């Protein structure tokens, strides 16, 4: 095993999809803050259900009181932002249920947020959900797996320092 590690380097760290849906390049998010990677590289998902799961083991850095977004620090160091929809902060928490708090240790697949997808769409909001690695510049390798339907068990970002 040591020889393989020397030949091929350490394995890539992985982030799974935080929500079920269609994974697309972050450049397709109709908001320049996300699309132009101003906050970091990542992916986006057009959700088909209203549950946000932890994409890796880590710690909740900030759960927004409105439930529209959460930031996590992965055990391997990635600083992750998951943002449900666009401009959804203006809903002031309506249609969102929070299941984690600041400082909580979470495991990959833990439920973080539930949201009423249909109600948010009915209010006219785009529900595309970006997941960004805010410290993506720290990683030499950054691969995204997009262009397909995903569940929270599917790896959508692979990275290594």
Q: How far apart are CA 21 and CA 8, in angstroms?
A: 32
Residue 133 contacts residue 157 (beta carbons within 8 Å): yes
Q: What is the pTM of this model?
A: 0.92
Strands 21-25 and 13-16: unpaired
Q: Inform me whether the pLDDT recorded for 27 exceeds 50.
A: yes
Lowest mean pLDDT among 10-19, 37-46, 124-133: 10-19
Length of the chain, in residues: 161
CA 24, CA 130: separation in Å to the nearest integer? 9
Count Cβ neighbours within 10 Å for each residue of 33-43 and write b for 16 or more, e otherwise.
ebeebebbbbb
Q: Which two tokens stand for residue 110?
A: 């833990």
What's the confidence (pLDDT) of residue 10? 64
Average pLDDT (83-105) is 97
Euclidean distance between CA atoms 156 and 44, whole angstroms: 9
d(CA 73, CA 81): 9
Out of 68, 83, 95, 99, the active site residue is: 83
- 99 carries an active-site annotation: no
pLDDT in tens, 106-131: 999 999 999 999 999 999 999 999 99
Q: pLDDT (tens digit, 9 = 90+) per residue, 76-88? A: 999 999 999 999 9
**Does residue 161 surpass a pLDDT of 70?**
yes
């Amino acid at each position: 095993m040591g020889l393989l590690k020397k030949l091929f380097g350490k394995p890539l760290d992985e982030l799974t999809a935080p929500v079920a849906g269609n994974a697309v390049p972050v450049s397709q998010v109709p908001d320049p803050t996300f699309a132009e990677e101003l906050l970091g590289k990542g992916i986006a998902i057009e959700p088909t259900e209203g549950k946000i799961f932890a994409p890796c083991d880590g710690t909740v850095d900030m759960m927004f009181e409105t439930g529209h977004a959460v930031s996590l620090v992965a055990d391997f160091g990635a600083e992750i932002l998951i943002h449900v929809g666009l401009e959804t902060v203006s809903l002031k928490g309506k249609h969102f249920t929070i299941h984690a708090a600041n400082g909580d240790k979470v495991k990959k697949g833990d439920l973080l947020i539930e949201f009423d997808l249909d109600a948010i769409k009915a209010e006219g909001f785009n529900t595309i959900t970006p997941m960004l690695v805010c410290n993506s510049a720290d990683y030499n390798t950054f691969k995204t797996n997009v262009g397909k339907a995903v569940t929270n068990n599917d790896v959508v970002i692979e990275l290594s320092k």
